[in-house]
Amino acid sequence: MKAPAGLSGVRGIVARILRRLLQLAEGTPDRPFFEAGIRAEWEDFARRNRAVLHRFPSLKAAVIAAFVGKGSSQEDADVVIFFLGRLAAEDFGEIVLLCANGYGFGATKLLRGMYERVVTARYLRLRPDEAEAFLVWGVVSEGKRAQEVLDTFGDGFSAATVTKLKEKVAEGKAERPRFMVPDCKTCSTTRLNHTWSRLDMVAMARARLTPRPGSGSSRAT
Protein backbone atom coordinates (compact mmCIF):
# COMPACT_ATOMS: atom_id res chain seq x y z
CA MET A 1 0.00 0.00 0.00
CA LYS A 2 1.40 3.36 -1.02
CA ALA A 3 1.75 5.95 1.72
CA PRO A 4 0.00 9.30 1.28
CA ALA A 5 2.20 12.03 -0.14
CA GLY A 6 1.97 14.11 3.01
CA LEU A 7 3.02 11.23 5.23
CA SER A 8 5.96 10.44 2.97
CA GLY A 9 7.21 14.02 3.33
CA VAL A 10 6.97 13.84 7.13
CA ARG A 11 8.92 10.61 7.13
CA GLY A 12 11.67 12.30 5.13
CA ILE A 13 11.88 15.17 7.57
CA VAL A 14 12.02 12.78 10.54
CA ALA A 15 14.76 10.78 8.86
CA ARG A 16 16.86 13.90 8.29
CA ILE A 17 16.39 14.99 11.90
CA LEU A 18 17.45 11.57 13.16
CA ARG A 19 20.55 11.60 10.96
CA ARG A 20 21.47 15.07 12.26
CA LEU A 21 20.99 14.01 15.86
CA LEU A 22 23.20 10.99 15.25
CA GLN A 23 25.91 13.22 13.77
CA LEU A 24 25.73 15.55 16.78
CA ALA A 25 25.89 12.62 19.18
CA GLU A 26 28.93 11.11 17.49
CA GLY A 27 30.68 14.39 16.73
CA THR A 28 33.34 15.17 14.15
CA PRO A 29 36.98 16.31 14.47
CA ASP A 30 36.10 19.92 13.67
CA ARG A 31 32.79 20.00 15.53
CA PRO A 32 32.50 17.81 18.66
CA PHE A 33 29.02 16.80 19.76
CA PHE A 34 29.38 18.94 22.92
CA GLU A 35 31.38 22.09 23.66
CA ALA A 36 31.64 23.62 27.12
CA GLY A 37 32.31 27.11 25.91
CA ILE A 38 31.58 29.74 23.29
CA ARG A 39 34.09 29.84 20.42
CA ALA A 40 33.20 33.36 19.32
CA GLU A 41 33.89 34.63 22.84
CA TRP A 42 37.28 32.86 22.90
CA GLU A 43 38.37 34.67 19.76
CA ASP A 44 37.20 38.04 21.04
CA PHE A 45 38.87 37.51 24.43
CA ALA A 46 42.17 36.53 22.79
CA ARG A 47 42.05 39.59 20.54
CA ARG A 48 41.38 41.98 23.44
CA ASN A 49 43.96 40.44 25.77
CA ARG A 50 46.70 39.35 23.41
CA ALA A 51 49.50 41.08 25.37
CA VAL A 52 48.45 39.41 28.62
CA LEU A 53 48.03 35.99 27.06
CA HIS A 54 51.55 36.13 25.63
CA ARG A 55 52.79 36.29 29.22
CA PHE A 56 50.81 33.25 30.35
CA PRO A 57 53.72 30.80 29.96
CA SER A 58 55.69 32.81 32.53
CA LEU A 59 52.70 32.86 34.88
CA LYS A 60 52.23 29.11 34.48
CA ALA A 61 55.90 28.54 35.25
CA ALA A 62 55.60 30.66 38.41
CA VAL A 63 52.58 28.68 39.60
CA ILE A 64 54.39 25.38 38.99
CA ALA A 65 57.48 26.62 40.82
CA ALA A 66 55.38 27.74 43.78
CA PHE A 67 53.02 24.79 44.19
CA VAL A 68 54.17 21.65 42.39
CA GLY A 69 56.26 19.38 44.57
CA LYS A 70 56.05 21.77 47.52
CA GLY A 71 54.22 21.67 50.84
CA SER A 72 56.63 19.54 52.90
CA SER A 73 56.69 21.96 55.86
CA GLN A 74 54.58 21.04 58.87
CA GLU A 75 54.43 24.55 60.36
CA ASP A 76 50.85 25.83 60.66
CA ALA A 77 51.60 29.09 58.84
CA ASP A 78 53.38 27.36 55.94
CA VAL A 79 50.55 24.86 55.46
CA VAL A 80 47.84 27.54 55.54
CA ILE A 81 49.74 29.90 53.22
CA PHE A 82 50.45 27.08 50.75
CA PHE A 83 46.83 25.99 50.43
CA LEU A 84 45.44 29.53 50.37
CA GLY A 85 47.86 30.33 47.57
CA ARG A 86 46.95 27.15 45.70
CA LEU A 87 43.26 28.01 45.93
CA ALA A 88 43.96 31.56 44.77
CA ALA A 89 45.79 30.20 41.72
CA GLU A 90 42.77 28.02 40.92
CA ASP A 91 40.48 31.02 41.43
CA PHE A 92 42.51 32.95 38.88
CA GLY A 93 42.28 30.14 36.34
CA GLU A 94 38.52 29.91 36.83
CA ILE A 95 38.17 33.69 36.43
CA VAL A 96 40.10 33.60 33.16
CA LEU A 97 37.97 30.69 31.93
CA LEU A 98 34.74 32.55 32.67
CA CYS A 99 35.97 35.80 31.12
CA ALA A 100 37.12 33.96 28.01
CA ASN A 101 33.59 32.63 27.56
CA GLY A 102 31.81 35.93 28.10
CA TYR A 103 30.72 35.32 31.70
CA GLY A 104 32.10 38.49 33.23
CA PHE A 105 29.61 38.60 36.09
CA GLY A 106 30.47 35.03 37.03
CA ALA A 107 34.15 35.97 37.10
CA THR A 108 33.38 38.94 39.34
CA LYS A 109 31.72 36.62 41.86
CA LEU A 110 35.03 34.75 42.28
CA LEU A 111 37.20 37.86 42.45
CA ARG A 112 36.43 38.78 46.06
CA GLY A 113 37.17 35.29 47.35
CA MET A 114 40.49 35.23 45.51
CA TYR A 115 41.40 38.66 46.89
CA GLU A 116 40.58 37.64 50.46
CA ARG A 117 42.64 34.46 50.18
CA VAL A 118 45.64 36.39 48.85
CA VAL A 119 45.35 39.04 51.58
CA THR A 120 45.01 36.39 54.30
CA ALA A 121 48.01 34.44 53.00
CA ARG A 122 50.14 37.60 52.89
CA TYR A 123 49.05 38.62 56.38
CA LEU A 124 49.92 35.20 57.81
CA ARG A 125 53.29 35.46 56.10
CA LEU A 126 53.84 38.61 58.18
CA ARG A 127 52.26 37.13 61.32
CA PRO A 128 52.80 33.36 61.27
CA ASP A 129 51.92 33.19 64.97
CA GLU A 130 48.26 33.82 64.04
CA ALA A 131 47.99 30.78 61.76
CA GLU A 132 46.83 28.63 64.68
CA ALA A 133 43.86 30.95 65.25
CA PHE A 134 43.00 30.65 61.56
CA LEU A 135 42.95 26.85 61.84
CA VAL A 136 41.08 26.74 65.14
CA TRP A 137 38.40 29.03 63.71
CA GLY A 138 37.66 26.18 61.33
CA VAL A 139 36.67 24.07 64.34
CA VAL A 140 34.35 26.83 65.56
CA SER A 141 32.79 27.17 62.10
CA GLU A 142 32.22 23.42 61.83
CA GLY A 143 30.54 23.46 65.23
CA LYS A 144 28.20 26.25 64.13
CA ARG A 145 27.28 24.39 60.94
CA ALA A 146 26.74 21.16 62.85
CA GLN A 147 24.33 22.95 65.20
CA GLU A 148 22.43 24.37 62.24
CA VAL A 149 22.14 20.91 60.71
CA LEU A 150 20.86 19.47 63.99
CA ASP A 151 18.33 22.27 64.38
CA THR A 152 17.04 21.75 60.84
CA PHE A 153 17.34 18.03 60.12
CA GLY A 154 18.18 16.45 63.46
CA ASP A 155 15.16 14.14 63.52
CA GLY A 156 16.08 12.63 60.17
CA PHE A 157 19.53 11.30 61.11
CA SER A 158 20.65 8.08 62.71
CA ALA A 159 21.76 8.07 66.33
CA ALA A 160 25.40 7.69 65.28
CA THR A 161 25.22 10.73 63.01
CA VAL A 162 23.53 12.83 65.68
CA THR A 163 26.26 11.85 68.14
CA LYS A 164 28.99 12.89 65.69
CA LEU A 165 27.28 16.22 64.99
CA LYS A 166 26.93 16.90 68.72
CA GLU A 167 30.64 16.19 69.13
CA LYS A 168 31.38 18.81 66.47
CA VAL A 169 29.16 21.29 68.29
CA ALA A 170 30.94 20.63 71.59
CA GLU A 171 34.38 20.99 70.00
CA GLY A 172 33.38 24.30 68.46
CA LYS A 173 31.97 25.68 71.71
CA ALA A 174 35.15 24.72 73.54
CA GLU A 175 37.20 26.96 71.24
CA ARG A 176 34.81 29.92 71.25
CA PRO A 177 36.31 31.86 74.21
CA ARG A 178 39.40 32.88 72.24
CA PHE A 179 37.21 34.49 69.57
CA MET A 180 34.91 36.49 71.82
CA VAL A 181 34.87 40.26 71.27
CA PRO A 182 33.22 43.15 73.17
CA ASP A 183 29.57 43.63 72.30
CA CYS A 184 28.51 46.39 74.69
CA LYS A 185 31.10 48.46 76.55
CA THR A 186 28.51 49.78 78.97
CA CYS A 187 27.18 46.41 80.11
CA SER A 188 30.48 44.53 79.45
CA THR A 189 28.85 41.84 77.32
CA THR A 190 30.68 39.90 74.62
CA ARG A 191 29.77 38.06 71.45
CA LEU A 192 31.41 35.59 69.10
CA ASN A 193 33.42 37.36 66.42
CA HIS A 194 32.34 36.81 62.82
CA THR A 195 35.77 35.56 61.76
CA TRP A 196 39.12 34.34 63.08
CA SER A 197 40.85 37.73 63.34
CA ARG A 198 39.88 41.00 64.98
CA LEU A 199 41.30 42.81 61.95
CA ASP A 200 39.05 43.41 58.97
CA MET A 201 40.23 42.64 55.44
CA VAL A 202 41.29 46.24 54.75
CA ALA A 203 43.46 46.32 57.89
CA MET A 204 45.05 43.00 56.90
CA ALA A 205 45.79 44.32 53.43
CA ARG A 206 47.47 47.39 54.93
CA ALA A 207 49.58 45.41 57.42
CA ARG A 208 53.33 45.69 57.04
CA LEU A 209 56.45 44.72 58.94
CA THR A 210 57.88 47.34 61.26
CA PRO A 211 60.81 46.99 63.72
CA ARG A 212 59.82 46.13 67.29
CA PRO A 213 60.91 48.90 69.71
CA GLY A 214 64.20 48.04 71.38
CA SER A 215 64.78 44.81 69.48
CA GLY A 216 66.17 43.56 66.23
CA SER A 217 62.98 41.72 65.29
CA SER A 218 59.92 42.97 63.42
CA ARG A 219 56.18 42.86 63.89
CA ALA A 220 53.19 43.33 61.62
CA THR A 221 51.28 46.58 61.97
User: How many helices (DSSP H) and strands (DSSP E) are in the chain?
Assistant: 9, 4
- Is pLDDT larger for residue 1 or for residue 59? 59
How many angstroms separate the Cα of 147 from the Cα of each of 125, 154, 165, 170, 171?
A: 33, 9, 7, 9, 11
83 C-beta neighbours (distance < 10 Å), count: 14
Please, what is the average pLDDT of the chain?
85
d(CA 85, CA 90): 9
d(CA 79, CA 76): 5
Ordered DSSP codes for 53-105:
HTTHHHHHHHHHHHHTT------HHHHHHHHHHHHHHHHHHHHHHHHHTT-HH
**Per-residue burial over 164-193, b = 16 or more CB atoms within 10 Å of its CB, e = otherwise:** ebeebbeebeeeeeebeeeeeeeeeeeeee
Give the pLDDT confidence score for residue 221 in this predicted structure: 56
The highest-confidence range among 43-47, 70-74, 131-135, 215-219, by mean pLDDT, is 131-135
Q: Which tens digit of pLDDT belongs to each residue from 81-106? A: 999 999 999 999 999 999 999 999 99
CA dihedral in degrees (166, 172, 174, 176; nearest 10)? -140
| pLDDT higher than threshold 70 for residue 74 | yes
3-state secondary structure of 40: helix
Closest CA to 110 of 87, 86, 94: 94
C-beta separation of 140 from 172 below 8 A: yes
C-beta separation of 205 from 146 below 8 A: no
How many angstroms separate the Cα of 154 from the Cα of each of 60, 145, 172?
A: 46, 12, 18
Domain ranges in the chain are: 36-126
| pLDDT higher than threshold 80 for residue 64 | yes
Q: What is the mean pLDDT of residues 152-166?
A: 91
Q: How many residues does the chain have?
A: 221
Q: What is the mean pLDDT of residues 44-50?
A: 91
Give the pLDDT confidence score for residue 122 in this predicted structure: 96
d(CA 92, CA 115): 10
3-state secondary structure of 191: strand
Closest CA to 81 of 126, 124, 130, 139: 124
